[in-house]
C-alpha cells in the first residue's frame, strides 16, 4: 500500500500519471499495461478515463481519445449499418460491433472485423452495448468544455445513435462480460445516457424520444420490490447500478427507487474492509472488493451531499495505492469465493494493476468531493 504520508495531491498526480502513461499515441487508453489480457482499448473504460481527465483539466488527452474512437468507428461503419438494416435481429452475436479494439483501433488478433470472438482460441465475449452509450455521453461532457464536435465526430455519433436505437434494448453481455441471456440495467442506463447525449450533440430528436422510451422500459421492467435489479433475470443488485444516478443522471439521485437501491448495494455488497463488491456470488479472483466501484459509491455520496460517506470511500480507495502509486482492479484479501482466487491467478496472473479505470474513478471521486466541499 502507498505510504500514509503521501499527500492527497500526490495521489491525484499518481492517478493522472497512470492515465497519461497508459494512453497510446493513437489516443486509445490501454485497460491495464501490465496485464496481457487487458492490452486493449475498451470504449467504456476509455470513456471514463477521458471524462476523469477532463474533470482535472487534461482536455487534450480526452480529445485525443475521442478522435481515436471516431476514427475507429468510421473505419468499421459497415458493421453498424449491417445491424441497423431491416431484419437486423438475425445478425449473429459474433458480427456485432465489438466492445474493445487494439490500441491502433483494429480488431483483436485472430478476429475478423466485427467478430465477437477469436477464431483460434476460446470465445471471449465482445458484444456489449454499454461502451457505446458511455462514449457518446463522455463526448458530450467533453464538448461542454468549449470543444465543439468535428464533422467526423458528428458522423460517428449519428452512427452510434442509429445503432443504439435499434439494438439498445437487446440482450447482450453486461459490463463485466457475463450473462448474455438478459437485458442489464446498468447497460440500459448507459444506452439511455448515450441517446440523450446524441440528441444534444447532433440535434437527433429521434434519439431523445427513444431515450425516453427506454427510460420507461427501465422503470417498468427493471424494478423489483422497489429497487433496481442487476438484470431482467434476477432480483439481485449489482454495484454498477450506481451509474443510473451518478454520473449518468438517467434517474434522479433523489428518486426513492435509487435511494433504496443504493441502500441495498451498501448493505449487501460492502466487504469486510469497507470496499464494494460487484455482486453477490461473484467468483472472478474470488469476488473481492473493487477499487473503481468503491470510488463510484463515494462519488454518488458526494453528489447527494453525504460528505462523510464520500470521504470514507476516498480514504479506502487511497489506502489501496501500491508503493509505486498504482491502483489494482480489486483486492483479494476478503474474497466471496476463496477457492477461486488461485485458479484466476494461474490462468491470467495477479490482479490487474494498475487498472486505468480504477485511477479514473479515483480522480472522479476527488473532483466530486472537492466540489461538494466547496459548496458548503
Give me the active site residues, please.
174, 177, 329
Question: Is residue 354 reached through a cis peptide bond, with omega within 30 degrees of 0 on the bond before it?
Answer: yes
End-to-end Cα spacing for the chain? 32
Angle value at C-alpha 307, between 303 and 311, nearest 5 degrees = 110
Look up residue 171 and give its three cell numbers. Answer: 440482450
153: left (phi over 0), alpha (psi -120 to 50) or beta: alpha
Give dist(CA 220, CA 145) in Å, integer: 35
Strand, helix or coil for residue 92? coil
Cα separation, 242 vs 200, whole angstroms: 23
**DSSP code, position 89:** G
DSSP output for 159-228: HHHHHHHHHTTS----TTS--TTS-BHHHHHHHHHHHHHHHHHS--HHHHHHHHHHHHHHHHHSEETTEE
Q: How many CB atoms lie within 10 A of CB 88?
A: 15
Distance, in Å, from the CA atom of 101 to the CA atom of 6, rounded to the nearest integer, reads 36
Amino acid at each position: 500500500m502507498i505510504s500514509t504520508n503521501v499527500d492527497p495531491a500526490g495521489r491525484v498526480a499518481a492517478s493522472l500519471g497512470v492515465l497519461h502513461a497508459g494512453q497510446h499515441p493513437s489516443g486509445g487508453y490501454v485497460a491495464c499495461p501490465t496485464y496481457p489480457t487487458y492490452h486493449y482499448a475498451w470504449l467504456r473504460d476509455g470513456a471514463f478515463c477521458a471524462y476523469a481527465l477532463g474533470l482535472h483539466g487534461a482536455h487534450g488527452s480526452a480529445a485525443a481519445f475521442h478522435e481515436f474512437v471516431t476514427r475507429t468507428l468510421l473505419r468499421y461503419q459497415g458493421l453498424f449499418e449491417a445491424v441497423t438494416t431491416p431484419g437486423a435481429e438475425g445478425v449473429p452475436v459474433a458480427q456485432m460491433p465489438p466492445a474493445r479494439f487494439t490500441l491502433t483501433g483494429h480488431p483483436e488478433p485472430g478476429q475478423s472485423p466485427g467478430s465477437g470472438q477469436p477464431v483460434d482460441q476460446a470465445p471471449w465475449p465482445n458484444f456489449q452495448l454499454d461502451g457505446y452509450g458511455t462514449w457518446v455521453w463522455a463526448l458530450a461532457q467533453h464538448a461542454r468544455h468549449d470543444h465543439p464536435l468535428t464533422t467526423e465526430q458528428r458522423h460517428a455519433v449519428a452512427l452510434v445513435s442509429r445503432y443504439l436505437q435499434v439494438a439498445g434494448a437487446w440482450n447482450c453481455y453486461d459490463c463485466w462480460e457475463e450473462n448474455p441471456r438478459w437485458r442489464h440495467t446498468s447497460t440500459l442506463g448507459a444506452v439511455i445516457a448515450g441517446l440523450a447525449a446524441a440528441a444534444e450533440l447532433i440535434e437527433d430528436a429521434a434519439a431523445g424520444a427513444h431515450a425516453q422510451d427506454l427510460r420507461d422500459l427501465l422503470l417498468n421492467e427493471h424494478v423489483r420490490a422497489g429497487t433496481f435489479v442487476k438484470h431482467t433475470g434476477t432480483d439481485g443488485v449489482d454495484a454498477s447500478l450506481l451509474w443510473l444516478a451518478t454520473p449518468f443522471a438517467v434517474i434522479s439521485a433523489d428518486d426513492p427507487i435509487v435511494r433504496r437501491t443504493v441502500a441495498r448495494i451498501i448493505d449487501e455488497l460492502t466487504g469486510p474492509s469497507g470496499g464494494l463488491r460487484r455482486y453477490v456470488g461473484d467468483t472472478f479472483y474470488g469476488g473481492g472488493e473493487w477499487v473503481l466501484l468503491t470510488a463510484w459509491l463515494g462519488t454518488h455520496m458526494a453528489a447527494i451531499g453525504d460528505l462523510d460517506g464520500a470521504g470514507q470511500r476516498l480514504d479506502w480507495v487511497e489506502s489501496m495505492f501500491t508503493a509505486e502509486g498504482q491502483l489494482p482492479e480489486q483486492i483479494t484479501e476478503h474474497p466471496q469465493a476463496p477457492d477461486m482466487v488461485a485458479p484466476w491467478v494461474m490462468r491470467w496472473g495477479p490482479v490487474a494493476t494498475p487498472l486505468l479505470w480504477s485511477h479514473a474513478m479515483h480522480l472522479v471521486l476527488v473532483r466530486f468531493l472537492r466540489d461538494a466541499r466547496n459548496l458548503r
